């Protein structure tokens, strides 16, 4: 990790104008310029352990199947039959019994996407099965996460994620397993979720139980520009943990040691993932825009498999603490969305504790090709 510095916002930095959060045309532009181009997190490799295991993800108004093939390779395809466009799979996850079959006319595809059966099509002049495989989607994996991109030629994953490659090696993220997941339906714009996650200016007021364990002014950042933003917050006392008891009996995961035993790291991975690295567990938020004023968030708590297998393992101390914290955030995010709809709203100045929000805005506006002067 790089040098950590105290957050500091530049003079004149202000919040975004309301139209970036509530205008349908903005949401439509985001779909094409961000979510149909960037690398989007679809889930974890642990969901695809055996050949035939699949998950379905939604992005940019598209449905995508991610599946492990008989050759153990993980691939992604548009969830669209090549015959007449019927959606192939309606379940969010599961296991295919060796093939993928269309429910309409039973065109059948291998787990590698190849068309292996098309009823009665053999007597159609010029028909070649090899010409009609499932349409592929670009896929990459990193630290146990699966990413997909709808772009025909996306930026190579290794280049796009260069600032993160190896950064979290000490946590052994690829080895961790989800012990619990909770899904939320938020009445707010997806960007409010990212921005709220990147500042603790609100913590003493919105999260009193969090502020009791981790001071709101104890943060330092090492990624402060671009698509990946974040750093650490300190714990108030040695041996503390962000759990309902304020402590933990779990051992540190991976190779986490030294000063990092008294820190929690928070990073936003634009535009679909929030990553919280604790000494004894990792929390992940998968963020999916649904509408200008609606966002689906799934939160997962990851632990060392040995800890999960231990007698008496119970992740509730971490889950309960962060489920409460999440719901406190969602309420304030929804209130912000309501306020943004008022004719009285004028973008206000950022505080120093909101420096990462200004950085988020710069990256976002750069992609949207908008002049910051035009945002008020």
pLDDT digits (tens, 9 = 90+) for 241-265: 999 999 999 999 999 999 999 999 9
Banded model confidence at residue 1, pLDDT cuts 50, 70, 90: confident
Res 370 pLDDT > 70: no
Q: Where in the chain is the domain with CATH 3.90.380.10?
A: 19-37+168-375
Give tens-digit pLDDT for 96-136: 999 999 999 999 999 999 999 999 999 999 999 999 999 99
Task: Give the residue among 2, 1, 3, 8 at the shortest CA–CA distance from 217.
Answer: 8
Q: Which residue has the tokens 């991976």?
A: 254
Banded model confidence at residue 373, pLDDT cuts 50, 70, 90: very low
Res 372 pLDDT > 50: no
pLDDT of residue 152: 95
Res 330 pLDDT > 70: yes
Tokens of 352: 């120093």
Spatial separation of the C-alpha atoms in residues 118 and 120, rounded to whole Å: 6
Q: Where are the alpha helices (DSSP H) in 163-242?
A: 190-197, 203-206, 208-213
Residues composing the chain: 376
Q: Which residue has the tokens 């999260």?
A: 207
DSSP, collapsed to helix, strand or coil, labels residue 40 as strand
Task: Give the residue among 41, 67, 42 at the shortest CA–CA distance from 53.
Answer: 67
Fold adopted by 19-37+168-375 = Naphthalene 1,2-dioxygenase Alpha Subunit; Chain A, domain 1 (3.90.380)
DSSP, collapsed to helix, strand or coil, labels residue 345 as coil
Fold adopted by 40-154 = Rieske Iron-sulfur Protein (2.102.10)
DSSP letter at 238 equals T
pLDDT of residue 4: 85
Task: Give the residue among 143, 174, 176 at the shortest CA–CA distance from 307.
Answer: 176
Cβ-contact 179, 283 below 8 angstroms? no
Instruction: For residues 58-69, give the mean pLDDT.
Output: 97
* 126-135, 214-223, 272-281, 316-325: range with lowest mean pLDDT: 214-223
Q: Which residues of 172-210 are buried (b: 16+ CB within 10 A; e: fewer)?
A: bbeebbbbbeeebebebbbbbbbbbbbbbbbbeebbeeb
pLDDT of residue 92: 96
Spatial separation of the C-alpha atoms in residues 186 and 5, rounded to whole Å: 32
pLDDT of residue 11: 81
Give tens-digit pLDDT for 33-54: 999 999 999 999 999 999 999 9
Q: Where in the chain is the domain with CATH 2.102.10.10?
A: 40-154
What's the whole-model pTM score?
0.95
pLDDT of residue 3: 85
Banded model confidence at residue 7, pLDDT cuts 50, 70, 90: confident
Spatial separation of the C-alpha atoms in residues 222 and 213, rounded to whole Å: 22
pLDDT of residue 374: 46
| pLDDT above 70: percentage of residues in the chain | 98
Tokens of 274: 């929030």
């Amino acid at each position: 990790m790089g040098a950590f510095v105290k957050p500091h916002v530049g003079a004149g930095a202000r919040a975004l104008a309301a139209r970036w959060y509530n205008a349908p045309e903005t949401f439509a532009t985001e779909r094409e310029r961000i979510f149909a181009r960037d690398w989007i997190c679809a889930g974890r490799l642990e969901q695809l352990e055996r050949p035939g295991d699949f998950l379905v993800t939604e992005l940019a108004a598209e449905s995508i199947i991610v599946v492990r093939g008989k050759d153990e390779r993980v691939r992604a395809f548009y969830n669209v039959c090549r015959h007449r466009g019927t959606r192939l799979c309606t379940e969010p996850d599961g296991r295919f019994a060796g093939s993928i079959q269309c429910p309409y006319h039973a065109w059948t595809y291998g787990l590698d996407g190849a068309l292996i059966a098309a009823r009665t099509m053999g007597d159609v002049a010029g028909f070649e099965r090899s010409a009609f495989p499932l349409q592929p989607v670009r896929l990459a994996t990193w630290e146990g996460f699966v990413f997909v991109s709808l772009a025909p030629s996306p930026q190579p994953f290794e280049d796009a994620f260069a600032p993160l490659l190896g950064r979290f090696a000490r946590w052994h993220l690829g080895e961790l397993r989800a012990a619990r997941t909770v899904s939320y339906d938020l009445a707010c714009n997806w960007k409010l979720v990212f921005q709220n996650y990147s500042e603790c200016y609100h913590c003493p007021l919105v999260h009193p139980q969090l502020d009791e364990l981790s001071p709101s002014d104890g943060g330092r950042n090492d990624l402060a520009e671009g698509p990946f933003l974040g750093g650490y917050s300190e714990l108030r006392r040695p041996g503390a943990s962000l759990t309902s008891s304020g402590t933990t009996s779990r051992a540190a995961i991976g190779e986490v040691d030294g000063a990092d035993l008294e820190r929690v790291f928070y990073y936003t991975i634009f535009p679909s993932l929030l990553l919280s690295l604790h000494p004894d567990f990792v929390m992940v938020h998968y963020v999916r825009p649904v509408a200008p004023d609606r966002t689906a968030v799934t939160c997962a708590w990851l632990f060392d498999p040995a800890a999960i297998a231990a007698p008496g393992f119970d992740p509730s101390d971490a889950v309960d603490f962060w489920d409460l914290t999440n719901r406190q955030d969602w309420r304030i995010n929804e209130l912000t969305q309501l306020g943004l709809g008022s004719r009285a709203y004028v973008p206000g100045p950022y505080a120093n504790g909101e420096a990462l929000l200004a950085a988020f805005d710069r990256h976002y506006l750069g992609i949207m090709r908008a002049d910051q002067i035009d945002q008020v």
